[in-house]
Amino acid sequence: MLALQGCEKEEEVDLTDWSLPHREDKVEIAGDAFTEKNAEAVDTTPEPVTYTVRNGDVISGIAARYDISPRQLAEANGLALKGRGSVIYPGQKLIIPTK
């Protein structure tokens, strides 16, 4: 029990009586019924981020813009980093990997 002081009257609060939902209880989320049974049906996979290469872009610059390494960007797009880098072309779509 916890006694609350400084209020108009002292009250005791029972901190051991937590009424939590049971496993099969439904919880309303934005008007839709949600249970643990149908949780697998909800796709929480984020949409992949893509970037369209523009004239003058380089892999290191694109990677820096998204706070990833040039190697991560190259690997996500099947590009080989050779010597000074891989060739990319304006209009080419690159997948930006998530951290």
Whole-model pTM? Answer: 0.53
Domain-by-domain residue ranges, the chain? 49-96
Q: Helix (H) and strand (E) counts for the chain?
A: 2, 6
pLDDT of residue 27: 54
> Which are the contacts of 9, defined by CB distance < 8 A and separation ≥ 6?
none
Report how far residue 62's alpha carbon sits from residue 32's, in angstroms, rounded to the nearest whole number.
40
Domain with residues 49-96, CATH architecture: Roll (3.10)
For the chain, 99 residues long, the average pLDDT of each consecutive 10-residue run is 54 58 57 58 78 96 95 93 81 92
Question: Token digits for 66?
Answer: 């998204």
